[in-house]
Amino acid sequence: MSEITAKIDEYYASLRGKAESRAERTLERALRDPEFSKVDREFQQARIAYFRAEASKEKNLSDYKSRFEALKTKRKEVLAELKLTEDDLTPHYQCAACHDTGFLGNGEACSCYRALVRKFKMEEIGISSVPYRSFQEADPKLTPYIPFVYYQKKYCDVFPKVPLSTVFSGGTGTGKTFLASCIANSLEQKGDSVIFLSAFALNRFFINCFEAQSYHSISLLSECDLLIIDDLGAEPVYKKITLEYLKLVLDERFAHKKPTVITTNLDREKILERYGERIYSRIFNEESLDDNNTFIGRDVRVDKR
């Protein structure tokens, strides 16, 4: 078993443990009540009897059914007296799709499992993931400034049929990082593999690869469904490392038709000046101008005054 698989198993076991022990503790507490304990016992017996009757196609099945249902109602009532509901006795798994097992009923890996694999792989190469924001928490008052609806509907809903390159540019406070983070969240929930990292962390990662002369991990960046580079321009640029590796990643993504989102404070001229023609033409996808998607933000805080 690989180290990552072991870590994932441990992670899910602890999630399930938490969800199940909470429900079990509540049940134990409820069972200390003599009336509930009696009704619960009768209810469990009636339930088993009903299922058995059903399996063996008993003639008086409806009697079993009505006894089971009567006891179910009675149990609910007694629970209510204890200020509890059936829901309190049910484990609340973090992932409703796989009940924190990582796998769906058909044996396929759940999207939360795939996200976890990516998270651990990223951590292995020294990139810690950031908690994502969501479209639900987007302030409707900011909609005139930030095209939330557009990106939710015209980007996330149609992904991966989106432009290969999308640039959110504008100064601090334009909401570009927030928007990119919402996109990451929305796509990851749909099961797409997303890597969101700051240009600073990306550069650090490139330097580590360069120092270790290990290029294998770079494929994580070129193969994910969406790569989001946040705040391009905030990182120090080392010609032999930053520029070469960034070009390599962008080229590979283009070759495999994998979209990239970039947020930046820099305008087009500054990007050209800082990264050179080759990277510039990838970022702005000069080969197909229609295929570039740019949101130029206004400072939300200034306009709101």
Minimum separation from the CB atom of position 19 to Zn ion (A):
12
- The verdict on 115 binding Zn ion (CB under 5 A) reads no
Closer CB to Zn ion, residue 101 or residue 166?
101
Minimum separation from the CB atom of position 258 to Zn ion (A):
24
Contact segment (CB under 5 A) with Zn ion among 28-36, 97-105, 118-126, 269-277 equals: 97-105
The residue from 19, 98, 197, 250 that contacts Zn ion (CB under 5 A) is 98
* C-alpha distances in Å from residue 269, one per residue of 101, 266, 275: 50, 8, 10
**Cβ–Cβ < 8 Å for 196, 130:** yes
The residue from 15, 30, 78, 112 that contacts Zn ion (CB under 5 A) is 112
3-class state of residue 168 by DSSP: strand
Contact segment (CB under 5 A) with Zn ion among 103-111, 228-236, 287-295, 297-305 equals: 103-111
Q: Which long-range contacts (CB under 8 A, 24 or more apart) does 115-120 make?
A: 115/188, 115/193, 116/8, 116/11, 117/4, 117/8, 118/193, 118/194, 118/195, 118/220, 118/224, 120/4, 120/7, 120/8
Closer CB to Zn ion, residue 112 or residue 229?
112
- The verdict on 226 binding Zn ion (CB under 5 A) reads no
- The verdict on 162 binding Zn ion (CB under 5 A) reads no
Closer CB to Zn ion, residue 39 or residue 110?
110
Task: Give contact residues for Zn ion (rule: CB under 5 A).
Answer: 95, 97-98, 110, 112
